[in-house]
Chain A
Amino acid sequence: QKEVEQNSGPLSVPEGAIASLNCTYSDRGSQSFFWYRQYSGKSPELIMSIYSNGDKEDGRFTAQLNKASQYVSLLIRDSQPSDSATYLCAVKGSGAGGTSYGKLTFGQGTILTVHP
């Protein structure tokens, strides 16, 4: 059973702080990693994707990947109240015969609250 685990929440940070969200995965052959943001009552929205080891920055968001440790994280700098949402980590595994057909395994999500 391929698993994706996210750090337990909820996570509460003050406005302007850095929010750190963590995710570990069990399938060592995993190739692609995604972070989705989901506001209450809404659908998941893709905010970051990362495919190789290291950091990837997009505005206030930085995704970090360490395949050796099977760990992926999302940092949100200068957190805003509008960042308050559930953040879902998703992993594309290796699949049988090396083909996964884009299937993703999702973590259970971390609820982030940014308070003024």
Chain B
Amino acid sequence: NAGVTQTPKFRILKIGQSMTLQCAQDMNHNYMYWYRQDPGMGLKLIYYSVGAGITDKGEVPNGYNVSRSTTEDFPLRLELAAPSQTSVYFCASGGSGLNEQYFGPGTRLTVT
């Protein structure tokens, strides 16, 4: 049982490039979330999903897109990367009961 996995661990992008951050969970959770964490700050919700085919914006969605075609996978797409998107990105999943969320190891992204 791997829990929540994320790839890649690190990435450097040039301004204007695009990339997809991958996230997968094997706990059969309905709910999945993407957060970003800037240095010394808490976590900000980017997008979330309550099930396959259902996604919605969080607090800071601009510059990002998501899709959820299966229960297991929830990729985050960055289009036209900007320096403001330099951050650590965490994916999390949770059940619909107690709503405890479990986090992946994170992706550290630098945009230069």
Contact = CB atoms under 8 A, between A and B. Distances in A.
A49 B101 CA distance: 10
A103 B50 CA distance: 10
A45 B94 CA distance: 13
Contacts of A44: 43, 90, 103
A88 B56 CA distance: 24
A102 interface: yes
A43 B105 contact: yes
Contacts of A88: 42-43
B1 interface: no
B5 to A, nearest CB: 11
Contact of A49 (B43, B48, B100): B100
Interface string B42-86: 111100101000001010000000000000000000000000000
A89 to B, nearest CB: 9
A62 to B, nearest CB: 18
B104 A32 contact: no
Interface in A43-95: 43-46, 49, 51, 88, 90, 92
A48 to B, nearest CB: 10
Contacts of A25: none
Contact of B42 (A49, A102, A107): A107
A8 to B, nearest CB: 12
B102 to A, nearest CB: 7
Nearest to B54: A101
B99 A102 contact: yes
Contact of A46 (B44, B90, B100, B104): B100
A22 interface: no
A90 B35 CA distance: 13
Contact of B101 (A4, A46, A108): A46
Contacts of B48: 101-103
Closest 5 CB pairs of A and B: A106-B42, A102-B99, A43-B103, A106-B43, A108-B42
Interface of A: 4, 32, 34, 42-46, 49, 51, 88, 90, 92, 100-104, 106-109
